[in-house]
Amino acid sequence: MRIEKDSLGQLEIADDAYYGIQSYRASQNFQISETQVHPLMIKSYLLLKKAAAIANEKVGVLEPKKARAIISAVDELINIDTHKDSSKYFIIDAFQAGAGTSQNMNANEVIANKAQELLGKKLGSYDEINPNDHVNMSQSTNDSYPTVMRLATLALSNQLITELEYFSNSLGVKAQEFDHILKAGRTHLQDAVPIRLGQEFGAYKYTVDQLIKLLNEAQASLRVLGIGGSAVGTGINVPKGYRDTIILELRTLFQDDKLTIAPNLIAAMQSQLPMMIYSNALRASALELTRIMNDLRLLSSGPSTGLAEIILPSSQPGSSIMPGKINPSLLEMGNQVFFKVIGNDNAMAFAIQAGQLELNVMMPLMAQLSLESTHIMKNALHSIRERCIDGIKANDKQCEKYLGLTSQIATALSPLIGYAKAAELAKVALSENKSIIELIKEKKILTDEQFKKLLNLREMTDAK
């Protein structure tokens, strides 16, 4: 064990630990969820500290030797699976002190100790590289944590958007595959005019494309960063030229040339509106995706006593008591994930409004919520696409059967015979259990030429 000291006193720390006394205090104070901070949050913090070291050296406030040690330490740490071996590195619970001070200091201490080691110094001595004086130079938790939170969310949201694009493509493939299949449409869960199965899937694809657009728009707000604002946005202890320099380094390290410094750094400390905008986009996505999951469950219901217009691939046995039963398991999982995302957005709303004066301290919760929602939505979509959507088959015969039974083909007759007569015809068809087509022929309502022209079902489903 080694002894480390801070303003509250001294504690014993394991000799081989790269964290220091402030991290250790936090780990003891916040034994809450046994949930580690997301790996992308850790990686983003490391990259921010690297960018800060480079910027501090360039503006002349950090000695080149110290800057190189910090940069090398970060490079080494990024190549280590610190999440797997967290007991020596990043030990802070996802639920921690307000503003993320504990996590910022955990990063500062781990980097400082790794830099000390690279310089041949003893862990915990901080005689060459100090967590506060050097690794945290020109920064505060109050500008570094929200910056890291947004950068980590951006990185993971890119992965989600990619998965949504794959999901859209899969729906597009099914839209083409099923384009020739005519079926009964349904409104109010009741029979409606004909539609093509491919059109239904094409509409799902369009909706997913709109969600991609929505998330791209939400990303724009996350790219506005408050780094360089320091404690309250006034830039105290931040050297001249630092902000312009660090944003260039962040653009390079995060491979995103759209990153910018917030035009009002005080507002960037007070408000975390960008996180709410992104969370709202996730909520809207979850709501729409839930609707699509529900539609697919309805369309596949049965198979003997439901709609059974599509056939889902079998993923696992559906019952411990009913032999041969297969359930829409992947879609059910999707619903549950999307419900969780909607719940997380509600928690985000409480966190966003909880800021007071110059700082919103609820940021660790915001980071945990946005990253969890993005992560589980991404993974859910991947599984649903690969194990369900790509394997969906159409039940052509069932679609054709229901199409023939729907009385709402009478809608096409309204312009010719009037709404009232068409409604009466639909009523007779239902009471006599006959199709509209049968009745038209039986009662000779249309000539053969009129019948052929008016009741061209394929043409009926094409927008003019």
Check which CATH number belongs to the domain holding 8 and give it. 1.10.275.10
Instruction: Judge whether 163 and 381 are in contact, CB under 8 Å.
Output: yes
Active site residue 315: no
Tell whether 41 and 99 lie within a shared domain: yes
pLDDT at 240: 97
pLDDT digits (tens, 9 = 90+) for 264-276: 999 999 999 999 9
Q: Is 203 in the same domain as 347?
A: yes
Task: Identify the pLDDT of residue 319.
Answer: 66
Q: How many folded domains does the chain comprise?
A: 3
Q: What is the pTM for the complete model shown?
A: 0.92
Task: Single out the residue in 396, 428, 450 at which a domain terminates.
Answer: 396
280 Cβ neighbours under 8 A, 6+ residues apart: 218, 345
Query: pLDDT above 70 covers what percent of the chain?
Result: 98
Within a domain: 258: no
Residue 323 binned pLDDT confidence (cut-offs 50, 70, 90): low
Statement to judge: residues 297 and 438 lie in one domain: no
The per-residue pLDDT for range 416-457, each reduced to its tens digit, is: 778 888 788 778 877 887 777 777 778 777 777 777 776 677
Confirm whether 226 is domain-assigned: no
Domain boundary among 364, 396, 428: 396
d(CA 375, CA 48): 22
* One domain, residues 320 and 437: no
Instruction: Give ∠ CA 414-419-425 in degrees, rounded to 5.
Output: 85
Mean per-residue pLDDT over the chain, rounded: 93
On whether residue 242 sits in a domain, the answer given is: no
**pLDDT at residue 464, as a whole number:** 58
Same domain, 12 and 57: yes
C-alpha 384/C-alpha 334 separation (Å) is: 7
| Mean of pLDDT values over 335-340 | 98
Among the listed residues 87, 314, 319, 414, the single catalytic one is 319
Asked if residue 410 lies in contact with residue 425, where contact means CB atoms within 8 angstroms, the answer is yes
**Residue 288 and residue 369 in one domain:** yes
The predicted pLDDT at position 110 comes to 98
- Shared domain check, 164 and 95: no
Average pLDDT, integer, range 26-45: 93
The answer to the question of residue 169 being in a domain is yes
For residue 186, CA distances in Å to 190, 203, 406, 414, 464 come to 5, 14, 10, 19, 21
Domain match, 277 and 373 both: yes
List, for residues 99-126, the tens digit of each pLDDT value.
999 999 999 999 999 999 999 999 999 9
Q: Which residue has the higher pLDDT, 452 or 161?
A: 161
**pLDDT tens digits for range 37-49:** 999 999 999 999 9
Q: Tell me the average pLDDT across 58-62.
A: 98
Q: Are strands 224-225 and 260-261 parallel, antiparallel or unpaired?
A: parallel
> How much is the pLDDT for 455?
65
In a domain, 241, yes or no: no
Tell me: do 156 and 38 sit in the same domain: no
Q: Are 186 and 315 in the same domain?
A: yes
Per-residue pLDDT reduced to its tens digit, 219-250: 999 999 999 999 999 999 999 999 999 999 99
Question: Which residues constitute the domain of residue 330?
Answer: 143-221+271-396
- Whether 237 maps to a domain, the answer reads no
pLDDT at 463: 66
The predicted pLDDT at position 326 comes to 81
Please report whether residue 18 resides in a domain: yes
| Whole-number pLDDT of residue 458 | 78
Q: Which residue has the higher pLDDT, 402 or 76?
A: 76
pLDDT band at 322 (very low <50, low <70, confident <90, very high): confident
Where does residue 204 fall: left (phi above 0), alpha (psi -120 to 50 degrees), or beta otherwise? Answer: alpha
Nearest to 296 by CA among 327, 341, 338, 337: 327
Answer yes or no: is 127 within a domain. yes
At residue 181, the pLDDT reads: 95
Neighbours of 189 (CB within 10 A): 7
